[in-house]
Structure 1
C-alpha cells in the first residue's frame, strides 16, 4: 500500500487529511494551521461531522468530507460504525499524512489508519478531559487502556504525538515521538491590546463553552463574594454544548443571569469585540490542554485568573500576568478579583505582561512553523517555498 501510494503521489500535491469530531472546532482552533499547510503545498481534506461551518471550510479551498458521527456516543455499535467509515475514507483518499485531533479521533482514526495501510500521522491530544479528572478505579483502568492503545498506534508508520502542555505529555512516558505545542496559534491582528483605565464597574469575563468542567459555577460564586466589597460585573459568553456530558442547560444559565451582577450573554459573534469589553479574564477549568480563551485574553492584554491546573498554569504566571489559585478555592478567586478590581495599575501591568508572553509563545507566527516542520519531517519531503 505504501509503495502504491508513493507512486500515485509522485507528481501530485501531498494530501493532508484532518480528522476532527466537529467542524466548528476545526474552524476555531486549526484553520490557521491548515492555511499554512496549504501554502506549503499540501492538499487539505477535512473529515468531520458537518454542522454550520461547512461554508467557511470550503471557502478556504479545502475539501470537506462528512463523517456522520456523534462524539457523545460511546457504544460499541456507533464506535465500530465510525471506525469503518474512517477506514473507507482513508482507502479512498490515500492520504500522505493523517492529522487526528483529540482523543476519540486519535483512537478511531489511528486504528482505521492501521487497517487501511498506514499513512504517516500527527496525533494531537488537545487536553485529556474527563478520563483524567478523577481517581476512581474505572477512570484509572480507562487511562491505562488509553496509554496502551496510543503506544500500539505509535509502533506502525511514522507517527508524531503532540501535546498542548507538559503535564499532559508526562502522562504518556512510553510514547517515543512526541512534542509539546503551546496551543495552535491565535491570530494577533484582530485581538489588539485593550487600553486599560479605571473602570467602574470592573468587568470580569468568561468566554467559552458553557460546561460544568469549565468552572462556570465557581466563577459565579467567586464574583458574588467579591461583590460584597467591590462593584464587579461578570459576563458569561458562550453557549451550551449538548454533545458534552458536562454541559450546562439554558435554564441553569438563565438562573445565573438572575443573580445580581451576573449576565449570560450567549454566543460571541465577534471574539475581539467581546474581549475588549473585559477588564479581567477568568477560567476556572478542572483541567485544560491549552485554553484558547486565555490565549485570546492574553493577546488582548488582559490580566487572568485561573485554577492552578494543567493547561492553565502553562499560560498564567502567578503574580506576573495574573493569578493562579488552588483548584476549588472560591474564596481565593474572590480575593484575586478584589486585588485586580481595586488596582487599575496592577491590571495594566499584568495585562502588558500577558500580551508580551502571547507574542513570544502563542501567536500564529510562533507556533505554525513547528507543525509545518513536523509534517515535512514525517513525509521526508523538501520544504516548498
Structure 2
C-alpha cells in the first residue's frame, strides 16, 4: 500500500504531533510520503523522524499541482491523504486528475481555524470549506469532530474517526513525587492530594476556572495542592487570581513541562478545563499515568471520560461543579484508585498508539476496498421502524440491525427512517430521513437494494391503527420501487380489527420476500392470517447479539448511582398500561418481600424513560424496603450491563426480558401483550402471569421460583445459546436478499 500525505508544513500543536507520530509509525508498515508546501521546522523534524518528505515551496498553485500530479502518477500511489486547507485544496484538484480516492483528516473545526484573521478566513477558510465538500472521505480526530461533521451535512457513510494515540508502554519517571515537588517549589507532603494540569496558559484552556474551583475545594479539603504546568500569556493573571483567592501558597506554577512522566507521576488527580477541544494529548497522558480525571465536557473529552466511572465531567466554566468533584476525589483514596485504574485500562485498550495505527490502516483498507467495490445502479439498505422516540428497546433493535448489516458488508450504505434523524445519524453513523418525509424516502427507495421493516412489533393495531397502515404503505412502496423486502426479527400482532387483518395479510402475501420472526406466537399468527408466500423463518430478537459493557464500566455506573457494585439486586421494569395502577401496590409489596426474605435490593430500570420512571415511582410508594430508581440506563451496552448485575428481573417490558435472558438472569414476566409470554415460552422460562390476573401471592411464588434458579447455569444457558444460534438467521436472510454470502460481497 502506498499513501501520499499533503500538508502545508506550517502546522504546530496537536496536528503536528498527530501527523508526525502517525507517519513515523506507518512508514514501518506501508509506503508513505509526506509533501509539504513550505520548508520549516515541521518538515525538518519529519526528516529527523525518518519520514520521507518532499517540499514543494512557492505560491504558484498551478505549478505545485502539476508537480504533485506527476509525483502521484509516477509513484503509483493508492490513496491521497490530506491535512489542512492547502492539502485539502490540492487533494480536491488531484481527485479528478488522478482518479485516486482522497481522504482528509479534520484536526479542528474548519470554521474556527482563522478566527481573528478575517482575510485568511475569507480566502483559506473558504477554500478549505469548499475543498472538504469535494473530497471522497473525511476522518475526524475524535468522535466529537465526526459528530460535528455529521451535523453539518457530511455523509456518515464517508466519515471515519481516529484518536490521538499515545504509547502506553510503562515508563519510569526520572524523579519521585517528592523530588518533583521540590524541583518546582510545590509545598506538599505525603498527606497532600495534588491536582494538576499541563496546558498552554491561554484563554481557551480556561485555567482561571481551575484556580477558582480549586480555591473552593481547598476550603473543605486543606490537604489539596494545585500544580499547573505550562506557560503563556495568562501566567501573570492566574498568579494574581490565586493570590486574590488566598491560595497562592498551595498553588505552584511549574512552567513549561519537558519531563511529562515525572509531572504526571507527581499528581493524584488530572484536570482539563478547556472551553474548546478536539481530543487533547493531556487526556491520554493522564490516563497513561492512571490518574482519575476531572474535565470540562467539551469536544471529544466525553468519549474517554465516562462520568462517574473513570473520572468526572463538568460544564465548561462551572467552578462550583468542578470544586465538588475535586472534594469527592480528595476525600476518597479508593475512589481515586478505582477511577484511575479504569481510565488507564480504557486508554490502553482504546486510545493507545497501537490502536491509532491499526485504526488508520483499517481506514485505508476500507477506502481502497470501496474503490474497487462493484455495486450497480442500486446499493444499500433502508431500515424502517419505531426509531428516534427514546425507547431503549427500539434503539437497541436498530443498533443490532446496523451491526449485522455491517457484518454482512462493512461498506454497505445504510439509511434509516427516524423520528429524530439528527440523533440517529449521530448515534449510529448512518444516513437518516425523517419518518414522515414521504417524498424523500420514496426517492431513496428507488436507489436501495433492500428494504427492512425492522424488528419489534410493528405489525399490530393495539396501540395505533395508523402506525400499522404506515408500515404497510412503506412495505408496498419499497417493493413497487424495486427493493427486496424483509421483515427482520419481528413480532406479529395483535391485529384486532378484521379489516386490518385482511389488509395486512394482503400486503405481506404480495409484497414481502422474507419474514424472520422472534417467537412462535408470531408464526402462528401469520398462519391464521393466511400469509404463506414469503419465506417465513423462526429466528430471535436481534438485540440478543448486543454485548454488555465491560465490568469496570458497569461498576462505575453503579457507584455513580449510589449502588455497591458487589451488591445483590432484583430488577423491576414496569410500564403504564390499562390496569397497572390497580396492581402497582402488588409490585411494591413484592419488592419488599424479596428484600426481606432474600436480601435482594430492588432497583427499578426503565426501558422507555418518559413512561417507566413514573410507573416505578407509583409502585415504590407502597414500599418499606430501601430501593433505587434509575432515571435512565444509558447506551445499549450500559443497559444490558446493568440488567446483567441483577440476580432476578421482573418485567413488563419485552426488551428488559431479552437483555436479561441474554445475560443468563432468571426472569419473571408480567404479561400485558402476548409477545411477553410467547418470548418466555420460546426460551423455556415459564414464570409469567397476565397483568389482569396478577396477585401478590402469585407474584411471590414466581419470585421464590426465580430466586431458586439463581446460579442454575444449565437451565439458564440453554435458552440463551438457542436464542443466539437462531438469531443468525436474521443476518443470513438479509445477506441472501442483498446477494451477499457470509459477510463478503459475491
Using structure 1 for the length normalisation, give the TM-score: 0.73
Match of 1:213 among 201, 204, 213: 204
- Which residue of 2 is the match for residue 236 of structure 1? 228
2:152 aligned to which of 145, 149, 172: 172
Which residue number corresponds to residue 76 of structure 1?
A: none
Output one character per residue of 1:262-310: Cα deviation in whole Å (capped at 9) or x when no partner: 2222222122222111111111122321222111211211000012223
Cross-structure match for 2:26: 37
1:326 equivalenced with 2:324 (yes/no): no
Aligned pair in 2 of structure 1 residues 350, 145: CA closer, same or farther (>3 Å)? same
The secondary structure found in structure 2 opposite 1:39 is coil
Q: Name the structure 1 match of 2:133.
A: 152
Q: Which residue of 2 aligns with 1:291?
A: 280
In 1, Cα distance between the equivalents of 2:62 and 2:260?
A: 37
1:35 deviates by 2.8
Mapped pair 1:16 → 2:8: no
Task: Tell me the residue number matched to 2:346.
Answer: 357
User: 2: distance between equivalents of 1:131 and 1:150?
Assistant: 16
* Residue deviations 1:328-355 (CA, integer Å, cap 9, x gap): 2111101111111121111101101101
More divergent stretch after superposition (301-310 vs 25-34): 25-34
1:203 aligns with: 194
Contact 1:256–1:263 (CA under 8 A) maintained in structure 2:
no
Contact map agreement 1:122 1:162 (CA 8 A) in 2: no
Kept in 2: contact 1:30–1:184 (CA 8 A): no
Distance of 1:35 and 1:60 partners within structure 2: 6
Distance 1:93 1:236 in 2: 47
Give per-residue Cα distances to partners, 1:32-83, cap 9 Å, x unaligned.
Answer: 42133212231332527666566542233213456889xxxxxxxxxxx596
Paired residues, number: 335
Q: Distance in 2 between matches of 1:64 and 1:180?
A: 25
User: Which of 321, 325, 328 in structure 2 is aligned with 1:336?
Assistant: 325
Q: Deviation at 1:115?
A: 3.4
Unaligned runs of 5+ in 1: 1-12, 70-80, 135-140, 241-247
1:125 correspondence with 2:113: no
The equivalent of 1:367 in structure 2 is 356
Do the aligned partners of residues 304 and 86 (structure 1) sit closer, same or farther apart at CA in structure 2, a change above 3 Å counting?
farther
Specify whether residues 108 and 145 from structure 1 end up closer, same or farther in structure 2 by C-alpha distance, changes over 3 A only.
same
Aligned with residue 184 of structure 1, among 164, 169, 174: 164
Question: Structure 2: how far apart are the matches of 1:88 and 1:338?
Answer: 61
Tell me which protein shows more helix as a share of its residues. 2
Check conservation: 1:123, 1:160, Cα contact below 8 A. yes
For the 8 Å contact 2:278–2:300, the answer to whether it is kept is: yes
Distance 1:83 1:169, change over 3 A: same
Maintained 8 Å contact 1:163/1:178: no
Q: 1:36 to 1:255 in 2, by over 3 A?
A: same
Q: How far does residue 327 in structure 1 lie from its aligned partner after superposition? A: 2.7
Partners in 1 of 2:238 and 2:317 — Cα distance?
20
Aligned to 1:100: 82
CA distance in 1: counterparts of 2:315 and 2:44, whole angstroms? 42
- Write the distance in 1 (CA, Å) between the matches of 2:308 and 2:4: 42
Bigger shift: residues 319-328 or 275-284: 319-328
Contact 1:301 1:351 in 2 (8 A): yes
Q: Give the Cα–Cα distance (whole angstroms) in 1 for the partners of residues 65 and 350 of structure 2.
A: 36
Bigger Rg over Cα: 2
Matched, 1:224 2:215: yes
Measure the CA separation in 2 of the matches of 1:276 and 1:48. Answer: 40
- Tell me which of the two structures has the higher relative contact order, counting C-alpha pairs closer than 8 angstroms and 6 or more residues apart: 1
CA distance in structure 2 between the aligned counterparts of 1:309 and 1:88, rounded to whole angstroms: 41
State the TM-score, normalizing by the size of structure 2.
Answer: 0.40
2: distance between equivalents of 1:146 and 1:321? 41
Distance 2:350 2:12 in 1: 26
Structure 2 Cα separation of the partners of residues 233 and 130 of structure 1? 38
Partners of 1:83 and 1:111 within 8 A in 2:
no
Q: What is the CA–CA distance in structure 2 between the aligned matches of 1:148 and 1:288, rounded to whole Å? A: 20
1:236–1:369 CA distance, 2 compared to 1 (3 A): same
- Please give the secondary structure, in 1, of the residue aligned with 2:81: strand
Distance 2:257 2:159 in 1: 34
Tell me, in whole angstroms, the C-alpha distance in 2 between the residues paired with 1:211 and 1:236: 13
Tell me what 1:77 maps to. none
